[in-house]
Amino acid sequence: MSNEMTVAPPPQPAEAPQPAKPGKPASLWSDAWYDLRRNKVFIIGAVLVFLLVLMALFPSLFSHVDAYNPATCNLANARQGVTGAHWFGTDNQGCDTYSRVIYGARVSILVGILTAVITGVVGGGLGLVAGFYGRWVDILLSRVAEIFFAIPAILGALLILSVVGRDNSQKWGVWVVVMALALLAWPLVLRIMRASVISAKNQDYVVAARALGAGSGRIMMRHILPNAIAPVIVTSTLNLGVFISAEAGLSFLGVGIQAPTISWGLMIADARARFLSAPEMLLFPALLLSITVLAFVMLGDAVRDALDPKLR
Protein backbone atom coordinates (compact mmCIF):
# COMPACT_ATOMS: atom_id res chain seq x y z
CA MET A 1 0.00 0.00 0.00
CA SER A 2 2.72 2.37 1.00
CA ASN A 3 4.54 1.54 -2.23
CA GLU A 4 1.55 2.60 -4.23
CA MET A 5 1.24 5.81 -2.30
CA THR A 6 4.70 6.96 -3.24
CA VAL A 7 4.53 5.94 -6.89
CA ALA A 8 5.41 9.03 -8.88
CA PRO A 9 3.12 9.82 -11.79
CA PRO A 10 4.79 8.90 -15.11
CA PRO A 11 6.61 11.80 -16.76
CA GLN A 12 4.25 14.11 -18.53
CA PRO A 13 4.99 16.34 -21.48
CA ALA A 14 5.69 19.78 -20.09
CA GLU A 15 2.39 21.39 -21.02
CA ALA A 16 0.00 18.52 -21.31
CA PRO A 17 -3.57 19.74 -21.86
CA GLN A 18 -4.78 18.70 -18.42
CA PRO A 19 -5.20 14.93 -18.68
CA ALA A 20 -7.29 14.71 -15.54
CA LYS A 21 -5.04 12.52 -13.42
CA PRO A 22 -1.87 10.78 -14.50
CA GLY A 23 -0.57 7.57 -12.97
CA LYS A 24 -1.57 4.22 -14.41
CA PRO A 25 -2.48 2.41 -11.17
CA ALA A 26 -5.16 4.93 -10.27
CA SER A 27 -5.97 3.29 -6.95
CA LEU A 28 -7.70 5.22 -4.20
CA TRP A 29 -4.36 5.79 -2.48
CA SER A 30 -2.33 6.99 -5.41
CA ASP A 31 -5.23 9.21 -6.40
CA ALA A 32 -5.43 10.60 -2.89
CA TRP A 33 -1.69 11.21 -2.74
CA TYR A 34 -1.85 13.02 -6.06
CA ASP A 35 -4.60 15.26 -4.70
CA LEU A 36 -2.84 15.86 -1.42
CA ARG A 37 0.41 17.08 -2.93
CA ARG A 38 -1.51 19.76 -4.76
CA ASN A 39 -3.61 20.83 -1.80
CA LYS A 40 -2.46 24.03 -0.12
CA VAL A 41 -4.23 23.15 3.14
CA PHE A 42 -2.35 19.84 3.25
CA ILE A 43 1.02 21.47 2.57
CA ILE A 44 0.55 24.06 5.32
CA GLY A 45 -0.76 21.46 7.77
CA ALA A 46 2.05 19.03 6.95
CA VAL A 47 4.77 21.68 7.35
CA LEU A 48 3.31 22.74 10.71
CA VAL A 49 3.04 19.15 11.90
CA PHE A 50 6.61 18.47 10.75
CA LEU A 51 7.87 21.47 12.74
CA LEU A 52 5.87 20.45 15.80
CA VAL A 53 7.09 16.87 15.68
CA LEU A 54 10.63 18.17 15.34
CA MET A 55 9.96 20.40 18.34
CA ALA A 56 8.66 17.39 20.30
CA LEU A 57 11.65 15.23 19.39
CA PHE A 58 14.46 17.79 19.64
CA PRO A 59 13.29 20.82 21.63
CA SER A 60 16.90 21.95 22.03
CA LEU A 61 16.93 22.79 18.32
CA PHE A 62 14.46 25.57 18.99
CA SER A 63 15.61 26.84 22.35
CA HIS A 64 19.06 26.99 23.92
CA VAL A 65 17.49 27.11 27.39
CA ASP A 66 16.74 23.67 28.84
CA ALA A 67 13.26 24.14 30.32
CA TYR A 68 13.62 21.01 32.45
CA ASN A 69 16.65 22.42 34.22
CA PRO A 70 15.39 24.37 37.24
CA ALA A 71 18.71 26.24 37.38
CA THR A 72 17.57 28.25 34.36
CA CYS A 73 14.76 29.82 36.41
CA ASN A 74 15.29 32.85 38.58
CA LEU A 75 12.51 33.70 40.99
CA ALA A 76 13.62 37.33 40.98
CA ASN A 77 12.58 37.45 37.31
CA ALA A 78 9.03 36.17 37.87
CA ARG A 79 6.39 37.52 35.46
CA GLN A 80 8.71 39.96 33.78
CA GLY A 81 6.72 40.33 30.62
CA VAL A 82 8.13 40.18 27.12
CA THR A 83 11.79 41.19 27.05
CA GLY A 84 14.76 40.71 24.77
CA ALA A 85 16.11 37.93 26.97
CA HIS A 86 12.71 36.27 27.40
CA TRP A 87 10.77 36.55 24.16
CA PHE A 88 7.54 35.18 25.67
CA GLY A 89 8.18 36.56 29.16
CA THR A 90 8.70 34.53 32.31
CA ASP A 91 6.29 32.56 34.51
CA ASN A 92 5.51 32.57 38.24
CA GLN A 93 8.78 30.78 38.98
CA GLY A 94 10.82 33.08 36.77
CA CYS A 95 11.29 30.35 34.16
CA ASP A 96 11.57 31.31 30.50
CA THR A 97 8.10 30.88 28.94
CA TYR A 98 9.47 30.53 25.40
CA SER A 99 11.56 27.47 26.23
CA ARG A 100 8.72 26.00 28.31
CA VAL A 101 6.31 26.41 25.42
CA ILE A 102 8.79 24.65 23.11
CA TYR A 103 9.36 21.80 25.56
CA GLY A 104 5.60 21.50 26.12
CA ALA A 105 5.08 20.33 22.53
CA ARG A 106 6.30 16.83 23.39
CA VAL A 107 3.41 15.98 25.73
CA SER A 108 0.74 17.27 23.36
CA ILE A 109 2.14 15.53 20.30
CA LEU A 110 2.70 12.28 22.21
CA VAL A 111 -0.80 12.23 23.69
CA GLY A 112 -2.38 13.10 20.35
CA ILE A 113 -0.52 10.53 18.28
CA LEU A 114 -0.59 7.69 20.82
CA THR A 115 -4.31 8.09 21.53
CA ALA A 116 -5.15 8.33 17.83
CA VAL A 117 -3.11 5.20 17.04
CA ILE A 118 -4.52 3.18 19.95
CA THR A 119 -8.15 4.12 19.24
CA GLY A 120 -7.53 3.53 15.54
CA VAL A 121 -6.09 0.06 16.08
CA VAL A 122 -8.52 -1.06 18.81
CA GLY A 123 -11.66 0.59 17.40
CA GLY A 124 -10.68 -0.27 13.84
CA GLY A 125 -9.87 -3.89 14.67
CA LEU A 126 -13.06 -4.46 16.65
CA GLY A 127 -15.08 -2.63 13.99
CA LEU A 128 -13.61 -4.90 11.33
CA VAL A 129 -14.54 -8.00 13.33
CA ALA A 130 -18.02 -6.69 14.18
CA GLY A 131 -18.81 -5.64 10.63
CA PHE A 132 -17.36 -8.78 9.03
CA TYR A 133 -18.87 -11.45 11.26
CA GLY A 134 -22.15 -9.68 12.05
CA ARG A 135 -24.70 -11.59 14.14
CA TRP A 136 -23.93 -11.96 17.84
CA VAL A 137 -20.33 -10.75 17.52
CA ASP A 138 -21.65 -7.51 16.10
CA ILE A 139 -24.44 -7.23 18.66
CA LEU A 140 -22.06 -7.84 21.55
CA LEU A 141 -19.34 -5.44 20.36
CA SER A 142 -21.81 -2.74 19.34
CA ARG A 143 -23.58 -2.86 22.71
CA VAL A 144 -20.32 -2.62 24.64
CA ALA A 145 -19.28 0.28 22.41
CA GLU A 146 -22.61 1.99 23.04
CA ILE A 147 -22.07 1.78 26.79
CA PHE A 148 -18.70 3.52 26.54
CA PHE A 149 -20.03 5.96 23.97
CA ALA A 150 -22.81 7.16 26.29
CA ILE A 151 -20.34 8.36 28.93
CA PRO A 152 -19.51 12.06 28.47
CA ALA A 153 -15.84 12.00 27.42
CA ILE A 154 -14.30 14.77 29.52
CA LEU A 155 -16.24 13.81 32.65
CA GLY A 156 -15.42 10.14 32.16
CA ALA A 157 -11.73 10.91 31.68
CA LEU A 158 -11.83 13.15 34.74
CA LEU A 159 -13.23 10.27 36.79
CA ILE A 160 -10.75 7.69 35.50
CA LEU A 161 -7.82 10.01 36.10
CA SER A 162 -9.05 10.73 39.63
CA VAL A 163 -9.14 7.01 40.32
CA VAL A 164 -5.61 6.58 39.03
CA GLY A 165 -4.49 9.40 41.27
CA ARG A 166 -1.85 12.08 40.92
CA ASP A 167 1.04 9.93 42.15
CA ASN A 168 0.47 7.28 39.50
CA SER A 169 -0.14 9.96 36.89
CA GLN A 170 3.24 11.40 37.68
CA LYS A 171 4.88 7.99 37.46
CA TRP A 172 3.33 6.89 34.19
CA GLY A 173 3.45 10.26 32.49
CA VAL A 174 1.40 10.63 29.33
CA TRP A 175 0.24 7.01 29.34
CA VAL A 176 -2.44 7.53 31.98
CA VAL A 177 -4.00 10.36 29.98
CA VAL A 178 -3.65 8.39 26.75
CA MET A 179 -5.39 5.33 28.21
CA ALA A 180 -8.19 7.37 29.79
CA LEU A 181 -8.91 9.15 26.50
CA ALA A 182 -8.56 5.97 24.43
CA LEU A 183 -10.93 4.07 26.71
CA LEU A 184 -13.69 6.57 25.95
CA ALA A 185 -12.90 7.29 22.30
CA TRP A 186 -12.57 3.87 20.67
CA PRO A 187 -16.34 3.32 20.16
CA LEU A 188 -16.49 6.16 17.64
CA VAL A 189 -13.83 4.49 15.49
CA LEU A 190 -15.60 1.13 15.87
CA ARG A 191 -18.83 2.60 14.52
CA ILE A 192 -17.15 4.15 11.53
CA MET A 193 -15.12 1.06 10.70
CA ARG A 194 -18.12 -1.22 11.15
CA ALA A 195 -20.27 0.80 8.74
CA SER A 196 -17.43 0.94 6.26
CA VAL A 197 -16.79 -2.82 6.48
CA ILE A 198 -20.45 -3.67 6.06
CA SER A 199 -20.61 -1.72 2.81
CA ALA A 200 -17.35 -3.27 1.57
CA LYS A 201 -18.38 -6.79 2.55
CA ASN A 202 -21.02 -7.14 -0.14
CA GLN A 203 -18.89 -5.92 -3.02
CA ASP A 204 -18.25 -8.22 -5.96
CA TYR A 205 -14.54 -8.55 -5.30
CA VAL A 206 -15.25 -10.06 -1.89
CA VAL A 207 -17.66 -12.55 -3.42
CA ALA A 208 -15.04 -13.32 -6.06
CA ALA A 209 -12.33 -13.83 -3.44
CA ARG A 210 -14.60 -16.14 -1.51
CA ALA A 211 -15.48 -18.08 -4.64
CA LEU A 212 -11.77 -18.54 -5.28
CA GLY A 213 -11.53 -20.19 -1.89
CA ALA A 214 -10.03 -17.42 0.25
CA GLY A 215 -10.54 -17.88 3.99
CA SER A 216 -12.18 -15.36 6.30
CA GLY A 217 -8.87 -14.08 7.63
CA ARG A 218 -7.46 -13.49 4.18
CA ILE A 219 -10.61 -11.78 2.93
CA MET A 220 -10.65 -9.50 5.97
CA MET A 221 -7.01 -8.51 5.82
CA ARG A 222 -6.35 -8.45 2.07
CA HIS A 223 -9.64 -7.36 0.60
CA ILE A 224 -11.89 -5.64 3.11
CA LEU A 225 -9.37 -3.82 5.31
CA PRO A 226 -7.62 -1.85 2.53
CA ASN A 227 -10.98 -0.86 1.07
CA ALA A 228 -12.67 0.06 4.32
CA ILE A 229 -9.92 1.83 6.23
CA ALA A 230 -10.09 5.27 4.56
CA PRO A 231 -12.82 6.71 6.85
CA VAL A 232 -10.89 5.47 9.90
CA ILE A 233 -7.74 7.27 8.78
CA VAL A 234 -9.74 10.46 8.25
CA THR A 235 -11.44 10.24 11.65
CA SER A 236 -8.21 9.41 13.44
CA THR A 237 -6.39 12.38 11.93
CA LEU A 238 -9.21 14.74 12.83
CA ASN A 239 -9.46 13.22 16.33
CA LEU A 240 -5.77 13.85 16.92
CA GLY A 241 -6.52 17.53 17.39
CA VAL A 242 -9.44 16.71 19.67
CA PHE A 243 -7.20 14.55 21.88
CA ILE A 244 -4.57 17.27 22.11
CA SER A 245 -7.24 19.74 23.13
CA ALA A 246 -8.65 17.26 25.68
CA GLU A 247 -5.22 16.67 27.21
CA ALA A 248 -4.74 20.40 27.69
CA GLY A 249 -8.21 20.65 29.24
CA LEU A 250 -7.62 17.76 31.66
CA SER A 251 -4.19 19.05 32.63
CA PHE A 252 -5.75 22.47 33.18
CA LEU A 253 -8.29 20.90 35.53
CA GLY A 254 -5.42 19.31 37.45
CA VAL A 255 -6.09 15.65 36.69
CA GLY A 256 -4.02 15.19 33.54
CA ILE A 257 -0.29 15.66 33.14
CA GLN A 258 1.38 16.52 36.45
CA ALA A 259 4.24 18.92 37.13
CA PRO A 260 7.23 18.86 36.70
CA THR A 261 6.32 17.56 33.25
CA ILE A 262 5.66 20.57 31.05
CA SER A 263 2.25 20.71 29.42
CA TRP A 264 0.50 23.65 27.78
CA GLY A 265 -2.64 22.90 29.79
CA LEU A 266 -0.65 23.14 33.03
CA MET A 267 0.97 26.37 31.89
CA ILE A 268 -2.45 27.87 31.19
CA ALA A 269 -3.63 26.78 34.65
CA ASP A 270 -0.57 28.44 36.22
CA ALA A 271 -1.18 31.63 34.27
CA ARG A 272 -4.85 31.80 35.12
CA ALA A 273 -4.69 33.65 38.45
CA ARG A 274 -2.62 36.51 37.00
CA PHE A 275 -3.92 36.70 33.51
CA LEU A 276 -4.80 40.37 33.72
CA SER A 277 -1.36 41.50 34.86
CA ALA A 278 0.62 38.92 32.86
CA PRO A 279 -1.52 37.89 29.88
CA GLU A 280 1.53 36.75 27.87
CA MET A 281 1.93 33.86 30.31
CA LEU A 282 -1.42 32.55 29.16
CA LEU A 283 -1.48 33.66 25.54
CA PHE A 284 1.70 31.99 24.31
CA PRO A 285 0.96 28.43 25.43
CA ALA A 286 -2.61 29.00 24.25
CA LEU A 287 -1.31 30.12 20.86
CA LEU A 288 0.94 27.09 20.41
CA LEU A 289 -1.89 24.80 21.53
CA SER A 290 -4.23 26.31 18.95
CA ILE A 291 -1.63 26.12 16.19
CA THR A 292 -1.03 22.45 16.97
CA VAL A 293 -4.72 21.59 16.88
CA LEU A 294 -5.10 23.66 13.70
CA ALA A 295 -2.23 21.80 12.02
CA PHE A 296 -3.80 18.39 12.64
CA VAL A 297 -7.27 19.56 11.68
CA MET A 298 -5.90 20.93 8.40
CA LEU A 299 -4.14 17.63 7.76
CA GLY A 300 -7.31 15.69 8.54
CA ASP A 301 -9.44 17.97 6.36
CA ALA A 302 -7.08 17.54 3.44
CA VAL A 303 -6.90 13.77 3.86
CA ARG A 304 -10.69 13.60 3.97
CA ASP A 305 -11.04 15.69 0.82
CA ALA A 306 -8.53 13.45 -0.93
CA LEU A 307 -10.02 10.13 0.19
CA ASP A 308 -13.66 11.14 -0.02
CA PRO A 309 -14.05 13.77 -2.73
CA LYS A 310 -17.83 13.57 -2.45
CA LEU A 311 -17.76 15.64 0.73
CA ARG A 312 -15.88 18.52 -0.78
Partner 1 sequence: MGRYAIRRLLQAIPVLVGTTFLIFVIVYALPGDPIAALGGDRRLDPAYVAVLREQFHLNDPLLLRYWYYVRGVFSGDFGTTYRGVPVTQIFQGKFGVTFQLAMTALIMEAVIGLGLGLLAALRRGRWEDQAVLGFTLFLVSIPPLVMGFVLQLWLGVKLKLNTGLDIFPVAGNAEGLRSYLLPGFVLACTSIAYLTRLTRTSLVEVLRADYIRTAVAKGMSRRRVLGRHALRNSLIPLITYLGADLGSLMGGAVITETIFNLPGIGQQLFNSVYLRENTVVVGIVTVLVLVYILANLVVDMLYAVLDPRIRYE
Crossing angle of helices 40-57 and 28-37, in 10° steps, is 90
- Whether omega before 260 lies within 30 degrees of 0, making that bond cis, reads yes
| Contact flag: residue 43 with partner 1 (CB under 8 A) | no
| Size, binding site for partner 1 by CB under 8 A | 44
Which residue lies nearer to partner 1 by CB, 206 or 255?
Answer: 255
Per-residue contact flags (x/-) with partner 1 for residues 107 to 146, judged by CB under 8 A: ------------------------------------xx-x
Spatial contact of 305 and 39, defined as CB atoms under 8 Å apart: yes
Instruction: Express the helix, strand and coil content of the chain in percent, nearest 5 each.
Output: 75, 0, 25
Q: Is 229 strand, coil or helix? A: coil
Q: How far is the CB of 273 from partner 1 (least distance, A)?
A: 12
Using a 10 angstrom Cβ sphere, with 0-12 exposed, 13-18 middle and 19 or more buried, the burial of residue 213 is exposed
Q: Is 36 a residue that touches partner 1 (CB under 8 A)?
A: no
Alpha-carbon gap, residue 182 to 159, rounded angstroms: 14
Cα separations in angstroms, 87 against 70, 84, 92, 104 = 18, 6, 16, 16
Could you say whether residue 40 binds partner 1 (CB under 8 A)? Answer: no
Q: For residues 46 and 151, which CB has a smaller minimum distance to partner 1 in the complex?
A: 151
Chain-centre distance for alpha carbon 306: 18
Scanning 14-22, 122-130, 154-162, 229-237 for contacts with partner 1 by CB under 8 A, the matching segment is 154-162
Distance CA 130, CA 249 (A): 33
Contacting partner 1 within 247-266 (CB under 8 A):
248-249, 252-253, 265
Nearer to partner 1, 70 or 165 (CB): 165
Stretch that binds partner 1, among 4-12, 16-24, 110-118, 292-300 (CB under 8 A): 292-300
Q: Is 297 in the site for partner 1 (CB under 8 A)?
A: yes
* Residue with Cβ nearer partner 1 (64 or 143): 143
155 CB burial (10 A radius; 0-12, 13-18, 19+): exposed
Q: By CB under 8 A, name the one of 206, 220, 266, 282 that touches partner 1.
A: 282
Closer to partner 1 by CB, 76 or 276: give it: 276
Question: CB under 8 Å to 75, separation ≥6 — which residues?
Answer: 93, 94
Name which position in 176, 298, 306, 307 contacts partner 1 (CB under 8 A). Answer: 298
Binding site for partner 1 (CB under 8 A): 143-144, 146-148, 150-156, 158-160, 162-163, 165, 241, 244-245, 248-249, 252-253, 265, 268, 272, 275-276, 279, 282-283, 286-287, 289-291, 293-294, 297-298, 301, 311
